[in-house]
């Protein structure tokens, strides 16, 4: 049985991380992809758990060798999804969740058309702003920039396979679970599994 590749994207503050965590708690066969980054570890972060922390030179080599499913430069640092761990988990029959930005999601879809893209949508932009402020981690200027970026990300929504509004985490997770079941019932998935579904 080959696993399903699920890509979750949405504006900063929409709750992607919380949804991923809840999904994995409910399904121990789901693997969350660990991204590679050139930024320095923050206090409490562990290499290989939170990120693969690599040098800029190593990251450039990974790009050249096509070792990344997607990558992007965010301010001064680079972030990307290593291809090998994702391919290994899928081949082992584990579903894989990528929590990445819109730009990265579209790169993944281009390289792996079977990937299922889910856009996590806020109940409203006003609620998104409230969530960003409630986190208490960003200055006013950064919040304004995140909201402006969120509006541009919303324009990419029609390129996704599904949209899930995150008004309540439990409800959002239930919808994503339903999406995963539905995708595994599609003829193309059924045929690829040799006529079997999980």
Q: In this predicted structure, what is the pLDDT of residue 15?
A: 85
* Domain encompassing residue 164: 5-192
Is 167 within the bounds of a domain? Answer: yes
Query: How far is CA 148 from each of CA 28, 110, 115, 168, rounded to the nearest angstrom?
Result: 36, 26, 28, 24
Is 198 within the bounds of a domain? Answer: no
Is 39 within the bounds of a domain? Answer: yes
Q: In this predicted structure, what is the pLDDT of residue 143?
A: 78
Is 115 within the bounds of a domain? Answer: yes
Is 197 within the bounds of a domain? Answer: no
The total number of structural domains that make up the chain: 1
Q: In this predicted structure, what is the pLDDT of residue 104?
A: 92
Here the CATH number for the domain that contains residue 63 is: 3.40.50.300
Query: How far is CA 127 from each of CA 56, 134, 165, 167, 193, rounded to the nearest angstrom?
Result: 37, 10, 12, 9, 41
Point out the residues of the chain with pLDDT beneath 50: none
Is 65 within the bounds of a domain? Answer: yes
Q: In this predicted structure, what is the pLDDT of residue 97?
A: 96
Radius of gyration for the chain, computed over Cα atoms and rounded to the nearest angstrom: 17
Instruction: Indicate the Cα dihedral angle 100, 104, 105, 109, nearest 10°.
Output: -140
């Amino acid at each position: 049985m080959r696993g399903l590749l699920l890509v979750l994207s949405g504006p900063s503050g929409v709750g992607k991380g919380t949804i991923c965590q809840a999904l994995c708690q409910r399904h121990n066969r789901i693997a969350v992809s660990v991204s590679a980054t050139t930024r320095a570890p923050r206090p409490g972060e562990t290499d290989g758990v939170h990120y693969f922390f690599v040098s800029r030179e190593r990251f450039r080599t990974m790009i050249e060798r096509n070792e990344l499913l997607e990558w992007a430069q965010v301010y001064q640092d680079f972030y990307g999804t290593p291809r090998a761990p994702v391919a290994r988990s899928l081949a082992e029959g584990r579903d894989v969740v990528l929590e990445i930005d819109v730009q990265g999601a579209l790169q993944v879809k281009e390289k792996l058309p079977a990937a299922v893209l889910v856009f996590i949508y806020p109940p409203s932009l006003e609620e998104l702003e409230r969530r960003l402020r409630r986190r208490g981690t960003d200055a006013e200027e950064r919040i304004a920039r995140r909201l402006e970026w969120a509006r541009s990300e919303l324009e990419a929504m029609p390129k996704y396979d599904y949209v899930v509004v995150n008004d309540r985490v439990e409800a959002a997770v239930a919808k994503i679970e339903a999406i995963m079941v539905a995708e595994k019932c599609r003829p193309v998935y059924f045929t690829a599994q040799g006529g079997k579904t999980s």
